[in-house]
Structure 1
């Protein structure tokens, strides 16, 4: 079993974009997809620590974890994978493109939902909107 963790990362929308929140999506050139920040658990790392580390590595953002979201389970290259997710508020940082993640987008929830490649990621976004108190 591959264990991983990630976040549905959000921030308050800038004043010039109106009220509400924006969701962070990352583009992974290896898969040419748009997804939520996530990654594999390191030896002796907790799931929460992994989620925060992956957000920092993939988006450049520091974050504060919020509510636990549903766990995704699926096959990755024929192996079972389990990804634990949290809601996380971005509290600052700067994105730097890498080989793993070359683009970061901040989108309104409806736009983010339409851009996400995997249905399981759309379900996580819906869970964030249904279960978390947001501005």
Structure 2
């Protein structure tokens, strides 16, 4: 059971096959408010499941539709003085078009080796490491 003061959110480590046909690329979003690079994620809306939230946030932040894959570790930290827990999934991008917003102004697709150092938070690098440590996303 989650403490009622805990902010609940969900997101994805979004990937697609690399255009070269070898390996995968990871989607990273830039949030100008925090000047950081992260995986797409956001807060659950009332009545929304974690899975629904993760798919919605990917669409809102990257313009991509996706299919959820394997569940990744849940991340817990304190944000703005409140506990926050973010459920994550591996998700394959199915296509779409990115449109910059005030919340997310840039989207990058990078191979995992280039995405890892670009990620601002160590917890996001750990999620990426979990995804790539398996034989398939």
Matches within 5 A, 1:1-135: 1-15=6-20, 19-131=22-134, 133-134=136-137
How far off is 1:61 after superposition? Answer: 0.2
Q: How far apart in 1 are the matches of 2:107 and 2:97?
A: 10
Larger fraction in helix:
1
Q: How many residues align?
A: 132
Gapped regions of structure 2 (runs ≥ 5): 1-5
Gapped regions of structure 1 (runs ≥ 5): none
Hey, which bits of structure 1, 4+ residues long, moved more than 2 A?
A: none
RMSD, matched Cα: 0.9
**TM-score where L is the length of structure 2:** 0.94
**TM-score where L is the length of structure 1:** 0.95
